């Protein structure tokens, strides 16, 4: 594809917004696409793909362009140029681009970039493009499995849809979207994978609430609660409601769902999404300290704790979090997870069940928290089962879930 100066400049500007102004990659791309309505489909795809690829391979590209130690303004044009040079070697089936003779690339030496690329391949944290501290933490916690997980987390994920069974079935949805566009996923009764990336949220079927975009790993969590009709379910870290909506579909308008969070704006979004999905048995509560939890002691048949976490299981979708996460945040978030698990469990009735879930590949946020909980409350709680999805093994995002029962 012939390179257009305007598009390359837009990629460089987007990187500046992400790395200098610290903005979220998906927001930056969305805004750029919205404000450049004249770009055709190929241009739009070029911009989105190149921004995400460069964010994903940021450390590797800085290394090959000899900017490894420039943290502030590394020269975004040269970064884009270096990526265009190594991309055909680094990604399968990537189109090669002839770099035009533009002044911004005057000092970019193709031979140096290619030689440094070969050197980089021998150093995991550079070839796999992760910060030193993250490579150390993951390698310590996962051992040899980290190599494969890292490789899988660096592959972009295709969008997975969940048919909203309050309004349709998976087969009807596949008919509507076109069978050539989608694939089924064995073991996930409501899931469809889109064969090609596209903005499905613009489709009328989405506006009508016939489906949600939800990764396959995430679609395993609500069913893990073992929900029966008529139950009262609390989703205590409900956010904008991805799992609340799935719980609603499993309850089939029987029973009730109480969705809680500390962020009112997320619950407001949840309420809108629930209305679109046709779910009528949901209420929301903004958590204001532990009193909100104590008031609900012993009221839930089922409790979902989809706790805040590092998000290291979903790096395929949010590659910029590799650069935004900090070690101190990990310590802080583990403490919050423990506070939630040890305090919120009291909302479950005797004999009721709870799922503790994370989208992290780290045992310290997942298995180890659950083990600590079971050791701290041996007379009250028992583990029924636990499960992990692995980006390397399953091709899903990396989720963890543990099902526990109150004695």
Residues 6+ apart with CB under 8 A from 347: 234, 236, 293, 296, 297, 298, 299, 300, 303
Known binding site for S-adenosyl-L-methionine: residues? Answer: 261, 306
340 binds ligand SAM (CB under 6 A): yes
- Identify whether the C-beta of residue 386 lies closer than 8 Å to the C-beta of residue 401: yes
Site track 226-245 with ligand SAM (rule: CB under 6 A), x = hit: ----------xxxxxxxx--
Closest distance of CB 185 from ligand SAM, Å: 18
Known binding site: residues? Answer: 261, 306
Count interface residues toward ligand SAM (CB under 6 A): 17
Answer for which of 15, 127, 177, 287 binds ligand SAM (CB under 6 A) is: 287
Residue whose CB is less far from ligand SAM, 118 or 332? 332
If residue 161 lies in a helix (H) or strand (E), which one and from where to where? strand 160-163
**359 is a catalytic site residue:** yes
130 binds ligand SAM (CB under 6 A): no
Residue whose CB is less far from ligand SAM, 263 or 394? 263
87 binds ligand SAM (CB under 6 A): no
Angstrom distances, CA of residue 18 to CA of 51, 72, 319, 323: 10, 12, 11, 10
Closest distance of CB 358 from ligand SAM, Å: 8
269 binds ligand SAM (CB under 6 A): no
* Long-range contact pairs involving 145-153 (C-beta distance under 8 Å, separation at least 24): 145/390, 145/392, 148/392, 149/361, 149/390, 149/391, 149/392, 149/398, 150/124, 151/392, 152/316, 152/390, 152/391, 152/392, 152/395, 153/312, 153/315, 153/316, 153/361, 153/391, 153/398
261 binds ligand SAM (CB under 6 A): yes
**Residue 4, token pair as written in the block:** 């257009």
- Stretch near ligand SAM under the rule CB under 6 A, chosen from 6-14, 24-32, 257-265, 313-321: 257-265
Number of H helices, E strands in the chain: 20, 11
**Residue 406, token pair as written in the block:** 């109150």
Q: Which of 138, 237, 309, 359 is catalytic?
A: 359
Residue whose CB is less far from ligand SAM, 53 or 306? 306
List beta partners, residue 235: 259, 304
274 binds ligand SAM (CB under 6 A): no
Answer for which of 308, 342, 395, 405 binds ligand SAM (CB under 6 A) is: 308
Give the active site residues: 359
Point out which residues bind ligand SAM (CB under 6 A).
236-243, 261-263, 266, 287, 306, 308, 336, 340
């Amino acid at each position: 594809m012939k390179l257009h100066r305007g598009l390359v400049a837009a990629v460089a500007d987007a990187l500046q917004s992400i790395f200098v102004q610290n903005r979220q990659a998906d927001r930056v791309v969305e805004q750029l696409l919205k404000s450049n309505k004249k770009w055709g489909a190929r241009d739009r795809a070029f911009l989105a793909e190149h921004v995400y690829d460069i964010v994903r391979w940021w450390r590797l590209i800085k290394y090959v362009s000899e900017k490894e130690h420039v943290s502030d303004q590394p020269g975004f044009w040269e970064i884009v140029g270096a990526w265009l040079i190594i991309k055909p070697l680094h990604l399968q089936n990537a189109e090669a681009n002839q770099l035009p003779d533009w002044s911004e690339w005057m000092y970019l030496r193709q031979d140096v970039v290619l030689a440094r690329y070969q050197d980089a391949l021998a150093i995991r944290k550079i070839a796999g493009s992760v910060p030193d501290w993250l490579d150390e933490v993951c390698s310590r916690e996962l051992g040899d499995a980290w190599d494969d997980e890292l490789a899988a987390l660096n592959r972009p994920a295709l969008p997975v849809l969940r048919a909203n069974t309050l309004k349709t079935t998976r087969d009807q949805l596949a008919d509507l979207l076109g069978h050539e566009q989608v694939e089924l996923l064995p073991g996930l009764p409501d899931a469809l994978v889109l064969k090609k990336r596209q903005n499905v949220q613009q489709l009328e079927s989405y506006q009508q609430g016939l489906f949600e975009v939800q990764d396959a790993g995430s679609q395993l969590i609500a069913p893990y609660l073992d929900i029966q009709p008529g139950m009262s379910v609390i989703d205590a870290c409900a956010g904008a409601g991805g799992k609340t909506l799935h719980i609603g579909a499993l309850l089939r308008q029987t029973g009730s769902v109480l969705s809680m969070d500390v962020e009112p704006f997320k619950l407001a979004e949840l309420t809108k999404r629930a209305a679109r999905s046709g779910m009528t048995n949901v209420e929301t509560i903004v958590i204001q300290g532990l009193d909100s939890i104590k008031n609900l002691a012993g009221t839930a048949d089922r409790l979902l704790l989809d706790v805040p976490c590092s998000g290291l299981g979903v790096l395929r979708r949010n590659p910029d979090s590799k650069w935004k996460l900090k070690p101190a945040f990990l310590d802080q978030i583990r403490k919050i997870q423990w506070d939630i698990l040890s305090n919120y469990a009291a909302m479950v009735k005797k004999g009721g069940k709870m799922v503790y879930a994370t989208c992290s590949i780290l045992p310290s946020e997942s298995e180890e928290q659950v083990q600590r909980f079971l050791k701290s409350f041996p007379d009250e709680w028992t583990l029924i089962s636990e499960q992990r999805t692995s980006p390397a093994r399953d091709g899903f995002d990396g989720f963890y879930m543990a099902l526990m029962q109150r004695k």
